[in-house]
Chains A and B, each alone.
Chain A
């Protein structure tokens, strides 16, 4: 069962453009994490959001957790080639112990 849907699945943009990636579910999560994965490597954690409505910023990346804790978004300002990678959201089940990963968004930033 795929609990988290990400959109878009693929995104190719020019350097300097802005973009938003969405992570949606019909389930409520205790928390939500965003990871970035580069080819041939494992995912690396970018941020964890816990409170409904929470907004966190990491340099040019802005993460928001939906008020109802069912969805999240990742916004990148002035994208750079170094932002290229697969972005994954992961929701922590309310029962704990398990994380459910989204389908992933593959981002390519063209110089």
Chain B
């Protein structure tokens, strides 16, 4: 069964600290993996996309990794800010159709305290 599992379910850190969010998937075949950030009361916004050939990609304070062999991805946030408080959702796409079916994780709820 194609699934996307995220951990931890929730996380509280102090401002300025680093954190790492995990995403494990069983989706096959695999096309790509995206991390989205969803602020409270808003729709998700794409942070980064990881394709099969990519291992690491950085976008400002966000660094995503992908291990396609173990089917794991992580999102590392450096020097956290209050505005990083949000739900982070991992979404995996297969290659089963022209569109590519999407499999969503339940998200990790990150809270950054001052």
Q: Are A and B subunits of one complex?
A: no
What residues of chain B have their CB less than 8 Å away from a CB belonging to chain A? none
